[in-house]
A and B are shown apart, each in its own frame.
Chain A
C-alpha cells in the first residue's frame, strides 16, 4: 500500500459576500500518496484552485475554511498555528502559478529570489543557499545558470520564468508541489519542454505533484490519478487510464468529448455542454450538474447522488452512470445545431441589400 502524504476530508471553504455565501469548495475529499501525481480537473469556478489554496491556508478574503480536515503526514493543516503553517508552506509544500511574471518580484534578481526562498525558511545556511541556486537552475535546465541567476525576471522569457518558478518551488525540497495551470500561458513547444521537466523531476526527486488544470490532455500526459470537480464537489475520481477509457459521470464524459484531438481526423461534432456552470451562492437542488446533463432522470432533480464505487479505485457521483446510457441517447447528446429557421429568415433580406449597394 502506498503511503498517504496528504488527506483532505470533507473540506468546506466558503466566501462570505454581500450577495450571500458562495460555497466554493463544498465537501471535497481527496488524497495524494507519496511521490504520486494527481490531476484535479474542471472548468473555471469549479473550486479546484480554492481547494489548492485551502491546502496552503492561503484562501483570500472574504473566504474561510468552514469545516473539514487537511491532514499532511497526519497533522491537520487547518489547526496549525502561525509558526507551524509557515514551516509547512516553506518546507513541505510549494505552489507554482499560471503566470510566472506576476509571481516573481520584478526588481530582484532571479538568483536572489530563489536564495531568499531558502534562507527565509532557515532550512539552509546562507552559504548553502547560494551554491544551491546554481544547482537548482541547472536542474530545471536553465542554460548558463551561473550568469542567468544574475538576471532580472524581465530578462527571462515566459518558459524560462516558469522554470525559475519551479526551481524556487523545489528550493526547500518539498514533498508536495502544487501546480496551478503551470503551462497554460506558454506556447506549445515550450509547454512540451515544461511537461517533460515536471515528469523528470517527479521521477528524479520523488516529489508528489497536484496538477490543477482544465486541460485533459495535460492530465493524460502527466498524472497517475485524476479528480474531476464540478460546482465545488468531486464528481468522479480514479486512475487516469480508467477515467479516460470509461468515464462514468456524464460531466467527465462531456469534458473528454468536448475537446478535439490533434491526432485524430474530424469525425464527430464536439459534445458541447448546454448552459453555464451554476451560481455557487444558489446551487440547484439535487445533482449540481442536472440542469446541464443530457442524461438527466427525475431523481437527479431532487436528490443528490453520493460518490459511489463504479469500478476498481473509481468512484462517481451519479444516479445514471454512462454505462447505463443507451447509444441512441449518446448520439442525441452530440447534436446541437443552429436555428435553421432563423438562418432562412436572415438570408432573404440580405440578398436584397447586397444587390442594392453593389460590390
Chain B
C-alpha cells in the first residue's frame, strides 16, 4: 500500500515529487536442483523515493537491501512487480531506452579496490561513461574529467595515474567522480563508506552531502551503520528478511520507533559516550536472521520478536505496512508502538 504524497504539486510545471516508485516488487533466486525452492531475497517491497531527498535503507546482512538496489538500478530483472523511475516503468524497458534511463541513475560501490579497473588510468575510468553515452567532444570530455577530479578533491593532473597509486579514500573519490560524470539525478550508494577508515569516512560523507546540495541529487543510501545513515539521510527505511518493516523521517525513526525490530536494531548500536553507555541496555534479539528460503509464517520477525503473540496473530497473519506513530511514518507490525 502506498501513501499519497501529502503536498499538492506547487505548480503545473513542477516535476513529479516522487522520483522513484517501487511497487510490490519480488526477486526470487531459484536454487538449482531443489525443485521450486528459491531464495526470496526481496519479497514484496513497496517504497517511494522523493526528488532531492536522501533515503537511507538499513538492515542486517541477508535482508535483501543490496538486491533491492540492483533491481532499482535495473542491473537485475525483477521476478514480479513494478519499478517506476521518473514516471517510466523501467522494469519493462530493454535496449536503448534502458541505456538512456540508466544514465540518470548511477551507483557508488562499497569496495573501492574492486570497483575500479586496475589497468585503466583514472582519466579513462572517469571518461568511460562519457564515451559510452557519446557526450561532448574529445576536448570537452577531458576538460570535464579534470573538473570532476577537482570537484571531488583530487588533483586534476592525476588523470594519467592508475588506481593502485591511490589510497582507499581517494579511490572512493574516483568512484564518485565517475558516477557524477554523466550528470545523474539519482545515485545509489551501496555501503559507499563502510570500507574506509573513520577519518577518511568523514571526508567522503561530507563530500556526498556537499554534492547533494550542489547538484540537487537524490540518494538511496544503503548501509548497515545506522549512525552514518542517520547523519546522511532525510528518511530511513528498515528492511528485514526481504520486506520493508518501517519507514519514517530520520529523527522520528530514532525517537519514536514503531516496529520492535527497529527498536532492537537501534538499541544494539553502541554510542561513543561511556557515560551514556553505562545506562544503556540493548534489547538483545534471540538468535539470528532466519533463512530467506523458507521465511517464518505470518510476521517474519515473530521468531525473534520480544513482543510477539505466538501462537496467535503474529505467527498467522502478515502485518501490512501502514501508518503508525508520527506523520509520514509506516510500520508493518500488529502491535506497532508497543514495547
Which A residues contact B (CB, under 8 angstroms)? 43-44, 143, 157, 159-160, 187-193, 195-196, 214-221, 240-241, 244-245, 254-256, 258-263, 265-266, 269-274, 276, 336-340, 342-343, 345-347, 349-350, 353-354, 357, 359
Residue of B nearest to A262 (CB): B227
- For B, the interface residue count at a CB cutoff of 8 angstroms equals 64
Are B231 and A188 in contact, CB atoms less than 8 angstroms apart? no
Partner among B199, B210, B251, B276 whose Cβ is within 8 Å of the Cβ of A43: B199
Interface string of B58-75 (1 = CB under 8 A from A): 001100000000000000
Q: How far is the CA of A193 from the CA of B285 in the complex (A)?
A: 8
B86 in the interface (beta carbon within 8 A): yes
B residues 135-172 touching A (CB-CB < 8 Å): 135-136, 140, 144, 147-148, 150-153, 167, 169
Q: Closest CB-CB distance, A3 to chain B, in whole Å?
A: 23
* CB of B272 closer than 8 Å to a CB of A: yes
Interfacial chain A residues near B214, Cβ < 8 Å: 338, 340, 343
**Taking the complex as formed, is B38 at the interface, i.e. its CB lies under 8 A from any CB of chain A?**
no
> A223 CB to closest chain B CB, in angstroms?
8
B284 contact from A193, A259, A263, A338, Cβ within 8 A: A193
Q: Which residues of B contact A337 (CB under 8 A)?
A: 206, 210
Which applies to chain A's interface (DSSP): helix, strand, loop or mixed?
A: helix
What are the 4 A-B residue pairs with the smallest beta carbon separation, nearest first? A260-B231, A273-B199, A192-B268, A272-B202
* Alpha-carbon separation in the docked complex, A276 to B275 (Å): 31
CA distance in complex: A210, B305 (Å): 34
Tell yes or no: B264 within 8 A of A by CB.
yes
B215 & A273 in contact (Cβ 8 Å cutoff): no
Q: Which residues of B contact A (CB under 8 A)?
A: 60-61, 86, 100, 104, 133, 135-136, 140, 144, 147-148, 150-153, 167, 169, 180, 183, 197-203, 205-207, 209-211, 214-215, 224, 226-228, 230-231, 250-251, 254, 264-277, 282, 284-285, 287-289
Q: Are A262 and B269 in contact (CB under 8 A)?
A: yes
Rounded to whole angstroms, the CA-CA distance of A41 and B287 in the bound complex is: 30
The listed residue (B201, B268, B271) touching A220 by CB distance below 8 A is: B271
CB distance from B163 to the nearest CB of A (A): 15
7 example contacts (A-B, Cβ-Cβ < 8 A) are as follows A189-B284, A221-B270, A256-B272, A262-B266, A269-B206, A270-B231, A272-B205
Q: Which of B151, B198, B288 contacts A255 (CB 8 A)?
A: B198
Tell me whether B202 and A259 are in contact (CB under 8 A): yes
Distance (whole angstroms) from the CB of A306 to the closest CB of chain B: 24
Bound-complex Cα distance A220 to B271 (A): 7
A262-B198 contact in complex given A220-B271, A272-B206, C-beta closer than 8 Å: no
Which has the most chain B C-beta neighbours within 10 Å: A245, A256, A261? A261
The one of B227, B250, B274, B288 in contact with A240, judged by C-beta atoms closer than 8 angstroms, is B274
Question: What B residues does A196 contact at CB under 8 A?
Answer: 282, 284
Q: Which of A215, A263, A273 contacts B276 (CB 8 A)?
A: A263
Instruction: Tell which of B169, B200, B230 touches A266, judged by Cβ atoms closer than 8 Å.
Output: B230
Partner of B205 from the list A193, A270, A359 (CB cut-off 8 Å) is A270
Tell me whether A255 and B153 are in contact in the complex, defined as CB-CB below 8 angstroms, given that A189-B264, A353-B183, A354-B183 are known contacts. Answer: no
Q: Is the CB of B268 within 8 A of A188?
A: yes
A187 contacts which chain B residues (CB < 8 A)?
60-61, 224, 288-289
Q: Find out whether the CB atom of A189 lies under 8 angstroms from the CB atom of B271.
A: no
Question: Which chain B positions have C-beta within 8 A of A336?
Answer: 203, 206
